[in-house]
Structure 1
Amino acid sequence: MRRFLEVIEELALKDLPLLGGLFTWSGGLNGLSRSRLDRFLISEDWENHFRGAIQCSLPRPVSDHFPILLDGGGTRRGPIPFRFENMWLKDEGFKELLKGWWQGFNYSGSYSFILTKKLKAMKIKLKEWNSEVFGKVGVNKGLALDKVSYWDNQEQLRALNEQELEARKEAREEFKKWALMEETSWRQKSREIWLKEGDKNTGFFHKMVNSNRRRNCLKKIKVNGTWLSDDHDIQRRVVRAFKDLLSDPGGWRPCCNNIEFDRIGDEEATRLDESFSGDEVFLALSDLNG
């Protein structure tokens, strides 16, 4: 132990305080032996890059070790765009729910206008359903795991009756369901669709998502020989650059006076949104000449 502490000091590493407990392993006779065997060691540069990092212990459903989690606080990003989640399709009755919503939207106008309005209404409906009914996958998975742990702890104290055994079985099935949902979600985010679902590749998908985020993250930009790393400065410079590209600079431009351009009238423009008639389809096929 002394040598271990000396190595930590030589490498200038830091052991963050452990939240949620004082030890990460217990065993021995009647579980009286306890020790802090697991820990994250970080450098000063790493801590400066990920401010607010903490390590905490997690529940242990089967092992004699408490898993520990290093939370770096994440990266600051803008609003998350809407994405249709493939895991929703695994929820029983979801397709019928979608069909009912779609048929319940009534709009009048051109076909393109109706499609646009229905898609926008469907997006709002899906967001509400996901927030109020479906919930967060990680939270639902954790609740199911808590139920499994509860019945396992009860079994340590006494024999479970048939109803309690059935309740534990349902909790385990619920945990499997949300674990598969989580894997499906991370698979979609990772874009690694060549791997088969259900093979418990959630850890790999998670790593690929983090890799994509690091690659797509704009941490700093160089403007006129100066590097900018502050989020506000980067946003301001990017907005200014696009304003310069897309705004009217004024000054001289070629004159188009007295030049005639072909254009269609209002009546012809309205006809572009009309549906094709049977006669028009027949004539178009006839003109293909076999």
Structure 2
Amino acid sequence: MNPSRILCWNVRDLNSRVRQDAIRNLISNSQVDIVCLQETKMSVMLVGVILSSMGSDFTNWIDLPATGASGGIVVAWRQCLGPALATRVDNYSLSIQFSPGSLQPWWLTCVYGPQGDSNKLLFMQELRDVRSVCQGPWTVLGDFNLTTSAADKNNENYNRAMMGRFRRCINDLELSEVPLQGRKFTWSNQQDNPTLVKLDRVFCSSEWEQLFPNCLLQSSATEGSDDCPLLLGLHDVQPAKARFHFESFWPTLEGFQEAVESAWSAVQATSCPFDTLTKKFQATVKGLQSWSQKKVGHINSQLELAREILHQLEIAQDHRDLSTLELWLRNKLKLHSLVLSSLQRTIARSRSRITWLSEGDTNTALFHSFARHRKRKNFISKLTTDDGLMLTTHEEKEENILSFYNSLLGESPDREITVNLEELNVPGFDLFELDMPFSEDEV
């Protein structure tokens, strides 16, 4: 089974029964599969504490004991995720390698950063040591007790030298930060004139981000702690439906105008001209897509097939003379491959939105990360029901919104709506008498 959601929280004393109840309630409402808790302040992690704060389903866990009355980390996960492939316990972090059934194994590291500049330097070196051992997709989360910029704090009391060292550490580890939705700061000193700092973060490697491209990081209400809980949903962003792309080379191909004219004329007029226009555009889109598949086809597949046949002919030529037909085919395939390669690059350039990158194919991960960033900004991350249940999956939010508006507006039987344009003193017109959206000269 693949995990769907991770909870990360500096709980400030897991011995408190009240905090155990708050954790249990948050896990239940958010449907969390992996729990990462910092500052447990427990030198020995008891089974009863795990059962009380997380439930009987969290049978697997590892912990870093607290030193005296400070520190301590525990990471627990549901039984259905199975045992960890490997674990690692360091001075300031815990690392676990998960192996979901259908995904590549990946590492999770939970950290609790120390106080004091000298210990912070040791902590950053520990992260480098952990990464040297934990190869492959990797995410590191927790309370870092470090900031990356002046914007991470609401006053000017910060250590610029330490911020620079932390940024260099992140760059050395080739990590990118998962953006937090809805909150700018994650810690408060709870005073009337509070100090606000962003100390809790989630970083990931490019391999991990490609493994979970639809991840979403959001926060929850702070209950009994100075730090707010972070909820990392691994599949919470619904993949967008593929958009229609009008290729710039289509008008140069034979049969393009006929395909548009046939699709445009196939729609019959309705009582509403705007509805007719919408249906005509929809039919034209489907018609062009169908025409493109027949006329052009899948460029990448054709190019790979042409290269493979050309390669096999060249291999055969090493052992015998090619026949006249084989020589003709080889020459045709060479020209065809050049045409397809040029067409492939033309399509890539026309679809590229980042114009300052000339080699788009070598920056696929960057293109995808920009697209994911735009999608996360324009996204409803969560809904909370009247009974306090937090909904984060697309299906749950869709059902809740539909149910809400059905109860608010009610339902009515289907009926045909017509508009009498003469009563409204609006001149009528026939869409079929309109010209095509472009002329032959414009094509």
Higher RCO (CA 8 Å, separation ≥ 6 residues): 2
TM-score, reference length from structure 1: 0.49
Between Structure 1 and Structure 2, which shows a larger proportion of strand residues?
Answer: 2
